[in-house]
Amino acid sequence: MTTIRQTSMVNPRLALLTDYPFQRLQALLADPPGQDPINLSIGEPQHRPPAMVAERLAAGVGDWGKYPPVAGSPAFRAAVAGWLARRFHLPDGMIDPETQVLPLAGSREGLFQVVQVVCSAETIDGRPPVVLLPNPFYQVYAGALLLAGAEPVFVPATRDSGFLPDFAALPDDILSRARLAYLCSPANPQGAVAGLDRLQGLIALARHHGFVLASDECYSEIYDATPPVGALEACARSGGDCANVLIFHSLSKRSSVPGLRSGFVAGDRTLIDAFRRYRSYSGTALPLPVLSASTALWSDESHVEDNRALYRAKMDLAEERLGNRFGFYRPAGGFYLWLDVGDGARAAQRLWREAGLRGLPGAYLGRPDADGVNPGSPFVRIALVQDLDTTRRALDRIADVLMED
Ligand SMILES: Cc1ncc(COP(=O)(O)O)c(C=O)c1O
């Protein structure tokens, strides 16, 4: 029998992962808070969830005794396909609910799994497959690709690039090895939104080089003025073919139910079929009562409009309190302030020690570039996820603490 030599009991690739940002934050903010604590570090909406969630969960109580199907229920898939068509102006029949939609236990799960669906441990000309991602970025992307043995190519998403990554500017020898690119629009943490041209260009690039675009659109419903376009909308506007494109959506932010763990992936039929096969072994199927609540949520817009109005009111307060200080700008989408405070870790510590505010140092969301510069370092991320009064108190304290510098 072959002996596999392994120096430790655990997968050595796990050592490639930094501690998750919230573990790091725990260590940074070990001191007691200066005032009653307010958590603005995690993108976990605290708005009241719509009543239909509790109603549907209660009505579905008889279904806890059943294993749910990996592909979800026909009603869920139809509600998602209908929402996609309405929201992104898709022509009739462009998204077939039976073959192009799959439920996810939150978009995070799918964003992690997509690397395994798309990449194998193959080498290309003796080198590993490449995954492209923005920098700073949602940390799950890096965890997924590093564990899969892929090579990350971090592409700056800084003020100079409009806070979005310019994948098209990468050299051909990288693009030819790319198997997957993550785009987050609206972007976490910067709130930038990719326009139609950029999305169409990126989809053309993906098809040319044969990689998959994983379009993370979980903040698409939290916008300031204009509904962000999505990758499927870009496909629709270029003839309706979804080849190479997967979009990831979630109810966590749209409907303020991060604890429900409900999202979906949709797009390219071949990729969705592969995803279904993968998830029939690995995935967490959504319980039937959760599918039922999710179906109701995707079919209703009024609670989403209320939600958006509340975020706008909080952005108004932020604009009033912070004005044009700390590089404040009103993000086109999402609910984060991305404040340029010079040293984000120091600011996060001061906000905690002096004012009991938990924000997230931008450096925890970025990786140092070839020159050792982490593009997130000057920033602190403030998640406006609390209610209006709490947000008002928090913003007053932020202005007080940061103004003292
Ligand atoms: C950019 C981004 N993508 C995906 C997710 C995952 O959200 P969920 O798994 O709740 O759908 C988050 C959560 O904060 C996020 O910020």
Mutate to test the pocket of ligand 1, among 20, 138, 360 (most ligand atoms within 8 A of CB): 138
Q: Is the pLDDT of residue 6 over 70?
A: no
Residue with CA nearest ligand 1 atom 12: 108
Are 383 and 336 in contact, with CB atoms under 8 Å apart? yes
pLDDT at 5: 59
**Closest atom of ligand 1 relative to the 43 alpha carbon:** 14
* pLDDT over 60 at 230, yes or no: yes
| Average pLDDT, integer, range 155-180 | 96
Q: Is the CB of 139 under 6 A from ligand 1?
A: no
Residue 277 pLDDT class (50, 70, 90 cuts): very high
Q: Is residue 178 within 8 Å of 148, Cβ to Cβ? A: no
Mean pLDDT of 306-310: 97
3 has pLDDT over 70? no
User: For a substitution probing ligand 1, which of 163, 252, 262 has the most ligand atoms within 8 Å of its CB?
Assistant: 252
CATH 3.40.640.10 residue window(s) in the chain = 51-299
**Mean pLDDT of all residues in 305-329:** 95
Q: How far apart are alpha carbons 138 and 190 in whole angstroms? A: 11
Q: Does ligand 1 lie within 6 Å of residue 189's CB atom?
A: no
**pLDDT averaged over the chain?**
95
Q: What is the mean pLDDT of residues 315-333?
A: 94
Q: Outline which parts of the chain fall under CATH 3.90.1150.10.
A: 15-43+303-403
User: Average pLDDT, stretch 133-148?
Assistant: 96
Q: How long, in residues, is the chain?
A: 405
* pLDDT for residue 1: 44
Sheet with 178-184, side-by-side order of all strands: 101-104, 263-267, 245-250, 212-216, 178-184, 130-135, 151-156
Sign of torsion over alpha carbons 344, 346, 347, 351: positive
184 lines ligand 1 (CB under 6 A): yes
Q: Cα(107) to centroid of ligand 1, in Å?
A: 6
Q: Which atom of ligand 1 is nearest to the CA of 184?
A: 1
* Closest ligand 1 atom to 250 CA: 11
Q: Can you give the pLDDT at residue 316?
A: 97
Q: Using CB atoms within 10 A of its CB, is residue 64 exposed (0-12), middle (13-18) or buried (19+)?
A: exposed
Q: For ligand 1, atom 5, name the residue with the nearest CA.
A: 108
- Residues 6+ away with beta carbon under 8 Å from 28: 345, 348, 349, 361
User: CA–CA separation, 83 vs 146, rounded Å?
Assistant: 34
Residue closest to 35 by CA, chosen among 402, 403, 404, 393: 393
Phi, psi values for residue 397, rounded to 5°:
-70, -40
Whether 108 is in the pocket of ligand 1, judged by its Cβ within 6 Å, is: yes
Q: How far does residue 218's CA lie from ligand 1's centre (Å)?
A: 6
Taking the CA atoms of residue 44, residue 299, residue 263 and residue 280 in that order, the dihedral angle to the nearest 10 degrees is 150
Residue among 39, 113, 185, 188 whose CB has most ligand 1 atoms within 8 A, to mutate: 188
Distance 220 CA to ligand 1 centre (A): 11
Tell me how far the alpha carbon of residue 369 lies from the centroid of ligand 1, in angstroms. 24
Q: Is pLDDT at 273 greater than 50 in this prediction?
A: yes
Please tell me if the CB atom of residue 250 comes closer than 6 angstroms to any atom of ligand 1: yes
For the CA of 105, the closest atom of ligand 1 is 9
Q: Which spans in 126-268 are helix H?
A: 139-147, 172-175, 196-209, 231-237, 251-254
Task: Look at residue 250 in the predicted model and tell me its pLDDT.
Answer: 98
CATH code of the domain occupying 15-43+303-403: 3.90.1150.10
What integer pLDDT is reported at residue 120 of this predicted model? 84
Is the CB of residue 112 below 6 angstroms from any atom belonging to ligand 1?
A: no
Q: Would you state the pLDDT for residue 163? A: 97
Any atom of ligand 1 within 6 Å of the Cβ of 138: yes
User: Is residue 94 very low, low, confident or very high in pLDDT (cuts 50, 70, 90)?
Assistant: very high
> Is 103 a pocket residue for ligand 1 (Cβ < 6 Å)?
no
Q: Is the pLDDT of residue 7 over 80?
A: no
pLDDT of the residue at 125? 79
pLDDT of res. 41: 95
25 token code pair: 């934050």
Report the alpha-carbon distance of residue 387 to residue 46 in Å, rounded: 7
Question: Measuring CA to CA, how many Å separate 82 from each of 18, 87, 92, 298?
Answer: 40, 9, 10, 9
Q: Considering the chain, what percentage of its residues have pLDDT values greater than 90?
A: 90
The mean pLDDT of 291-310, rounded to a whole number, is: 98
Atom of ligand 1 nearest to the CA of 261: 10
51-299: CATH topology is Aspartate Aminotransferase; domain 2 (3.40.640)
In which band, very low, low, confident or very high, does the pLDDT at 56 lie, cut at 50, 70 and 90? very high
Q: Are 344 and 362 spatial neighbours (Cβ–Cβ below 8 Å)? A: yes
pLDDT digits (tens, 9 = 90+) for 67-87: 999 999 999 999 999 999 999
Q: What number is the average pLDDT over the span 105-110?
A: 97
Task: Write out pLDDT tens, residues 176-217.
Answer: 999 999 999 999 999 999 999 999 999 999 999 999 999 999
Q: Is 106 in the pocket of ligand 1 (CB under 6 A)?
A: yes
CB contact at 8 A, 291 and 72? yes
User: Could you read off the pLDDT of 244-255 as tens digits, one per residue?
Assistant: 999 999 999 999
Among the listed residues 105, 131, 127, 106, the one whose alpha carbon sits nearest the alpha carbon of residue 117: 131
